[in-house]
Amino acid sequence: MVSHSLTQVFLLSALLVLSLCKPSYGLGIVIYWGQNRHEGYLAETCATGLYTAVNVAFLHVFGGGQTPDLNLGHCGRGLPQANCTFLSPEIRACQARGVSVLISIGGPSRSYWLDTADDARTVSEYIWNNFLGGTSTSRPFGPAVLDGVNFDIQTGTDWYWDDLVRFLHAYNSRGRKVFLGAAPQCPFPDFYLDKAIRTGLLDYVGTQFYNNPKCQFINGNSDFLMQSWSNWTSLLASNRTSNTQLFLGLPAAPDTAYNGGYVPPQRVNELCTTFTQSPRYGGIMLWSRFTDRRDGYSGVIRNRCVDRVNSATLSAEKLIPYEI
């Protein structure tokens, strides 16, 4: 009887740990969409059932008093003239399928920065009113309300990104969750986003483990990648008041990473045996939809790196004892 009771207590404890470690963002695959007009429609992307979220890339001009601008392969540049409002029903179609849609800000452009904390506040207001739950007469995607913002900051300085995170996070008080994510480069710590990540306010960090030989899969060797993964998981785990999840950012094809880091999908499946042991593991982030659609990368890794983990969590939840 004592042994039976102890077993039940253990199971309850295990369940509690699992519940505390559940991703607030949702375990799955995040895909970048928007940079190649041959990647297919946004609604088509979501209808595949492969993805948990889509980062629409990029809002690549903002800050410093500039007129914000989009760089999308589907509707051109030059806001507000660029016609992107056709995306509104597609965004809603994605959300109806349970797929989150985020605006990704930054990218490789050198046309964005923040001059002051007030500048960060102004940018947050623009993003809220034009992409999230606010109102504007010039919403680029029409009336559809996006689910959040992905920070893909690759150039400039590290100034005030943490302030922008705080300002955007404050909109959660308006009654609708604003998901916030970041996509830092794998060199640790990230120059641009380290302070923003340390706020503990991000729902996920999708570290880009590619284009940086010192922290990526290289020549068939995963040692640098695994060490870098350990560094990033330790950073997120050090903030005990947050539940920020870590996504493994990878290129979906060799030709999409100019400086290497491509991991064959069969090898990713092997490595996921280790990655998925981390309570901070959130899933996989891929660049980009065009190459994933062409090569079918996510379809090969989804079962081992996502579906099995979800099934294991659900099975653990069923371990609640009927009596104690």
The model's pLDDT over 135-184, given as tens digits with 9 standing for 90+, comes to 999 999 999 999 999 999 999 999 999 999 999 999 999 999 999 999 99
Whether pLDDT at 10 is above 90 = no
What is the model's pLDDT at position 79?
78
Pairing of strands 179-182, 204-208: parallel
Q: Which of 279, 275, 182 is nearest to 222 (CA)?
A: 275
**Average pLDDT estimate for 16-26:** 45
Report d(CA 54, CA 290) in Å as an integer.
Answer: 13
Average confidence score pLDDT of the chain: 90
How many residues belong to the chain? 324
Q: What is the pLDDT of residues 200-213, one digit of tens each?
A: 999 999 999 999 99
Mind giving me the DSSP string for 108-132? S-S-B---SHHHHHHHHHHHHHHTS
| CA 137/CA 121 separation, integer angstroms | 20
User: What's the CA gap between 5 and 299, in Å, rounded?
Assistant: 43
Specify which residues 104 forms β-bridges with: 57, 150
User: CA dist 70 to 53, 82, 124, 126, 185, Å?
Assistant: 19, 8, 16, 13, 22
Q: In what helix (H) or strand (E) does residue 322 lie, and over which residues does it extend?
A: none
Asked if the model's pLDDT at residue 96 lies above 60, the reply is: yes
Helices (H) and strands (E) counted in the chain, each on its own, are 11, 9
Residue 235, pLDDT > 50, answer: yes
**Which whole number is the average pLDDT over 215-233?**
98
User: Residue 318: its pLDDT value, please?
Assistant: 39
More confidently predicted of 19 and 286: 286
Inter-residue contact 311 to 275 (CB < 8 Å): no
- Gap between the Cα atoms of 105 and 265, Å rounded: 28
Nearest CA to 158 among 125, 210, 198, 128? 198
CA distances (Å), 6 to each of 9, 11, 250, in order?
5, 9, 43
Q: What pLDDT does 25 receive?
A: 52
Checking if the pLDDT of 88 tops 70, the result is yes
Q: What is the pLDDT of residue 78?
A: 73
pLDDT band at 75 (very low <50, low <70, confident <90, very high): confident
| 292-298 average pLDDT score | 98
pTM assigned to the model:
0.90
| Residue 299 pLDDT greater than 50, yes or no | yes
How far apart (Å, rounded) are the C-alpha atoms in residues 292 and 147?
A: 23
Q: How confident is the model at residue 310 (pLDDT cuts 50, 70, 90)?
A: confident
H-type helices in the chain, by residue range?
2-21, 42-47, 87-96, 117-130, 161-170, 194-197, 223-237, 265-275, 289-295, 297-302, 308-317
DSSP single-letter state for residue 307: I
Residue 312's pLDDT is: 65
Superfamily of domain 2-317: Glycosidases (3.20.20.80)
Residue type at position 73: G
With a cut of 90, say whether residue 259 has pLDDT above it.
Answer: yes
Q: Which of 137, 242, 249, 155 is nearest to 193 (CA)?
A: 155
Q: Which of 3-17, 261-275, 295-309 has the lowest mean pLDDT?
A: 3-17
Per-residue pLDDT tens over the stretch 189-198: 999 999 999 9
